[in-house]
Structures are given as structure tokens and as C-alpha cells.
């Protein structure tokens, strides 16, 4: 049930009910800080939006420390191996036995979001679905405000002591950091994926990355009945222009099904194009506005870091708000960007390296040939060098 409280004054106004906003909201309530979450989508929409699935051990610890991990402990699955398939064969990297010796928990993002919504409402939180923030102001003063439009379309004002912009890459908050105070760091990686969700059990026991002359293909378990696949495609492709038959044929080819065994097919529940892109703002705050998650630091899904970074930023921000409000200590909030950005940049660096590990241009020009040979050398180093495997394991599962 959506709660609709008459109260329009709170302490922390949270925009967006994705992983960042919901973790922040739950941690604030647990710390005794009033907050209110405003979310544009309906509850059904946010609880069905399939995206991430791989949660790092650090993320799971943060959730468990705050009583938010019951669902993922009960239904998530531990995952500690990834496999690379190339023209010369395949090799498995048991990253849970290397480096930090940590594994992922595979738990679909929409199930985590549903658990977080449920926990927030059970704690008595005020969560307004179907409500869009259309304006924000007073960020330089001590009483910032938002204009929100609820399901009936009537605008109303909300005010608080702080605003947390957790409204993702297309949200309003990131546009309100004044030009001149914030520097944007952006890269479009020149790679496009067709992201697919198949109603089919995983075909393979591990995440499998296939490097093929026709482009990258990936296989990632989500649940015992649903599997995510990725197919690199041309940037100008349209998701609908791929037929189901073409998708499965291309997956078979790139995953080398003839050699390693067939993929389990099923209806495609979702297909969407994802342009691999990074977009980091520095600082992630201005006055009383603080950004968290994709709003502050979009990362390509190549290394499955986005939802994890969102949870970690929400934890840092919750601690900052609690320190300021309970102890009058503004220092952690003042340092918020400086605390988060090194973590974001380490994840960006690893994610960027993964893009170069898995992709290279197909052309027969000199540069394409050079980049393909570099990619092949990287894969060979990873296959044969134990120090590189330890370092990969740290970057892959660390956050
Ligand atoms: P979200 O999840 O986008 O939530 C933002 C929310 O803000 C709302 N909103 C507004 N509400 C009110 N007023 C407005 N004006 C508003 N504007 C926006 C939106 O409706 C939305 O509900 O951002 P958040 O919380 O920062 O979380 C980020 C993660 O969702 C994202 O990083 C991950 O999904 C990225 N990602 C992955 N991350 C991982 O850690 N592991 C993975 O395995 C993984 N796989 C993926 C992914 C992202 C993918 N896509 C779709 C790019 C796989 C894919 C295909």
C-alpha cells in the first residue's frame, strides 16, 4: 500500500525509490531521522524493474547490518566463479578463492527493491509513489524545498533540512548542481549491448563472458527460472529489430553452443539497448543537496557495480545526516563527496578495464587489429597469471 501522509515537512527529503533512496530511507529511520521518499513510478513499476543482480559482499554486509538482508539471505545464491570463452577455448576464474576471497550474492534488483520498500513501510516510513519532483530550491539556505506532483496532478510543496537526490541518471537533482561548482566526467564507451531477460533457467553454472569476432555475448543467472543475456550490437540497432530467432541464433554462435553445449531457450521477457556510459559528478553535493547512486556516478554495467555503489553511497550519506542532526557534526557531510569519489573511481577504473577485456572493434583497419590483439593479450594474461587473477578477483568483487 502506498502511504500518503498529510505531513509536508520532514527532515530529509529523498527523491527516488531505487536502491540508493530506499537504503538511505531505511538507514535514516533506523537512526531516528525523519525522512520522506518521493518516487515518480508506481510501486508495481519499481518492484518489477529488472536490472542488477550481482551484489558484492560489502553491499550484503551493509544490508545485513541494518536488518535488510533477510530476503537475499533466503533466496539469493552465492556465486564465486566466472568463465571466459574465446576462440581458443574457455577458462574458469574461481574468484571466491582468490584475492579478497569473497563471492557475489545473486539476487535480482527488483526483489531487493521490493524488500526495501516493505521494510521502509513497516518502519512507518512515508513513501509517496506516483509522485514526481518537478522543482527544487532553497539549496543554499537551511530549509530546502521540493515541488511534487502526486497521482492527481496537483503540485504541492515539501520542505526539509536536507535533500538527497537519489533519482538516477535522468533525474532532476543532478541538473541542479550549479554549473561552475561541479565538474562532469563523462565517457561514452562506444559499445552498445542488447540486454535480454529470458524466462529460462540458467544454461551454465557460472557467469560466462564470450569474446567473439562478431562481438561480446554474456550469460548471467538471475533466478532458477530467469537468465540475463547480453549481446553486443551496433549502436544504431533497435531492440525490436532483433527477432527472437535471431537473438537465440546469435547467442548460440557467440557462446559457441556447438562446442560447449546448447543454451536453454525460453520467452524473452525484456529486451533493451544499453549504451555503455560513465558519468561522474564532482562534487556530488551543493549546499543542502546531496546526490547518491546513478544520479552522482553512472557506471557502465560491464562489471556489475552500479547498485553496489548506490548502496555504499547511501550508507555514507545516512551516517553524514545522522552526525549532523544528532551531534551537530557537519564534518562527515562536508566530506561526503571526498569519501565517496575514490570508491566510485576505483569501480569506474575496473569497469573500464572490463570493457577493454571483453570488446574490440571488428574492422580490418590497423587500429581495430591493434585493439583486438591487445584484448587477446589481456585475456591471455588473465588466463595464465595468478597475480593477475588475484588482482582481478579484488576488483571484480570489491566495492
Ligand atoms: P535508480 O534505480 O535508477 O532509481 C532512481 C529512482 O528515481 C526515480 N525518479 C524520480 N522520482 C521522483 N521525481 C523525479 N523527478 C524522479 N526522477 C527519477 C525513478 O523513477 C527511479 O525509481 O537509481 P539508484 O537508486 O541510484 O540505483 C542505481 C541502480 O539501479 C543501477 O546502478 C544498477 O541497476 C546498474 N546495474 C547493475 N548494478 C549492479 O550493481 N549489478 C548488476 O548486476 C547490474 N546490472 C545494471 C545491470 C543496470 C542495467 N541497466 C538497465 C543499465 C544491468 C542493466 C541492464
The answer to whether 392 and 382 are in contact (CB under 8 A) is yes
In this predicted model, what pLDDT tens digit does every residue of 1-13 receive, in sequence order?
Answer: 344 444 489 999 9
Task: Centre a 10 Å sphere on the Cβ of residue 269 and count the other Cβ atoms it contains.
Answer: 12
- The edge-to-edge listing of strands for the beta sheet with 145-149 is 132-137, 145-149, 155-159
Query: What percentage of the chain carries pLDDT values higher than 90?
Result: 94
Query: What percentage of the chain carries pLDDT values higher than 70?
Result: 98
Answer yes or no: is 119 within a domain. yes
Beta-bridge partner residues of 14: 37, 164
- Look at the chain and report how many structural domains it folds into: 1
Mean local confidence (pLDDT), 47-57: 93
Q: In the structure, what pLDDT confidence band is assigned to residue 75 with cuts at 50, 70 and 90?
A: very high
User: Is 305 a residue of the active site?
Assistant: yes
Answer yes or no: is 90 within a domain. no
* Domain containing residue 31: CATH number: 3.50.50.60
Answer yes or no: is 135 within a domain. yes
Answer yes or no: is 380 within a domain. no
Answer yes or no: is 265 within a domain. no
Answer yes or no: is 359 within a domain. no
Answer yes or no: is 357 within a domain. no
CA distance 89 to 86: 5
Q: Which DSSP state fits 265?
A: P
Pocket lined around ligand 1, Cβ cut-off 6 Å: 15-21, 38-41, 46, 51-54, 109, 132-133, 166-168, 171-172, 195, 274, 293-295, 301, 304-308, 310
In this predicted model, what pLDDT tens digit does every residue of 159-210 receive, in sequence order?
Answer: 999 999 999 999 999 998 888 889 999 999 999 999 999 999 999 999 999 9
Answer yes or no: is 65 within a domain. yes
Task: Centre a 10 Å sphere on the Cβ of residue 43 and count the other Cβ atoms it contains.
Answer: 18
Q: Which domain holds residue 115?
A: 7-78+103-185+277-351
Which residue of the set 79, 104, 286, 352 is catalytic?
A: 79
User: Is 189 a residue of the active site?
Assistant: no
CB-hemisphere CA count at 13 Å for 82? 25
User: Mean pLDDT of all residues in the chain?
Assistant: 95
Atom of ligand 1 nearest to the CA of 53: 43
Q: CA–CA distance from 143 to each of 11, 13, 45 (Å)?
A: 9, 11, 31
Amino acid at each position: 500500500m502506498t502511504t500518503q501522509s498529510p505531513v509536508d515537512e520532514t527532515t530529509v527529503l529523498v527523491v527516488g525509490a531505487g536502491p540508493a533512496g530506499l537504503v538511505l530511507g531505511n538507514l535514516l529511520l533506523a537512526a531516528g531521522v525523519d525522512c520522506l521518499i518521493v518516487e515518480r513510478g508506481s510501486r508495481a513499476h519499481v518492484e518489477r524493474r529488472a536490472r542488477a543482480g550481482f551484489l558484492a559482499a560489502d553491499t550484503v554486509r551493509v544490508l545485513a547490518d541494518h536488518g535488510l538482508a533477510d530476503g537475499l539471505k533466503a533466496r539469493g545464491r552465492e556465486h564465486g566463479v566466472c568463465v571466459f570463452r574465446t576462440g581458443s577455448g574457455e577458462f574458469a576464474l574461481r574468484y571466491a578463492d582468490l584475492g579478497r576471497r569473497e563471492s557475489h550474492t545473486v539476487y535480482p534488483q527488483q526483489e531487493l527493491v521490493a524488500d526495501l520498500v516493505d521494510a521502509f513501510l513497516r518502519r512507518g516510513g512515508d513513501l509517496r509513489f506516483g509522485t514526481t519532483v518537478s522543482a527544487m530550491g532553497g539549496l543554499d539556505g537551511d530549509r530546502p524545498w521540493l515541488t511534487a506532483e502526486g497521482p492527481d496532478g496537483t503540485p504541492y510543496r515539501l520542505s526539509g533540512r536536507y535533500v538527497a537526490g537519489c533519482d538516477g541518471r535522468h533525474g532532476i537533482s543532478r541538473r541542479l548542481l550549479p554549473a561552475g561548482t561541479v565538474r562532469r566526467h563523462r565517457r561514452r564507451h562506444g559499445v552498445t549491448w542488447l540486454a535480454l531477460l529470458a524466462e529460462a533457467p540458467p544454461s551454465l553454472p557460472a557467469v560466462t563472458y564470450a569474446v567473439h569476432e562478431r562481438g561480446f555475448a554474456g550469460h548471467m543467472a538471475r533466478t532458477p527460472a530467469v537468465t540475463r543475456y547480453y549481446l553486443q550490437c551496433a549502436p544504431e540497432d533497435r531492440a525490436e529489430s532483433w527477432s527472437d530467432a535471431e537473438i537465440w541464433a546469435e547467442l548460440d554462435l557467440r557462446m559457441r553452443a556447438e562446442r560447449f553445449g546448447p543454451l536453454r531457450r525460453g520467452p524473452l521477457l525484456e529486451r533493451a539497448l544499453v549504451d555503455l556510459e560513465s558519468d561522474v559528478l564532482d562534487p556530488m553535493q551543493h549546499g543542502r543537496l546531496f546526490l547518491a547512486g546513478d544520479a552522482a556516478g553512472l557506471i557502465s554495467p560491464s562489471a556489475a557495480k552500479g547498485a553496489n555503489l548506490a548502496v555504499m553511497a547511501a550508507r555514507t550519506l545516512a551516517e553524514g545526516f545522522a552526525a549532523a542532526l544528532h551531534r551537530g557534526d557537519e564534518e562527515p557531510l562536508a566530506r561526503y563527496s571526498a569519501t565517496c569519489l575514490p570508491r566510485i573511481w576505483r569501480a569506474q577504473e575496473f569497469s573500464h578495464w572490463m570493457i577493454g577485456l571483453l570488446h574490440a572493434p571488428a574492422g580490418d583497419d590497423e587500429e581495430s587489429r591493434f585493439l583486438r590483439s591487445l584484448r587477446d593479450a589481456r585475456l591471455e594474461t588473465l588466463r595464465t597469471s595468478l597475480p593477475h587473477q588475484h588482482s582481478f578477483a579484488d576488483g571484480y568483487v570489491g566495492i
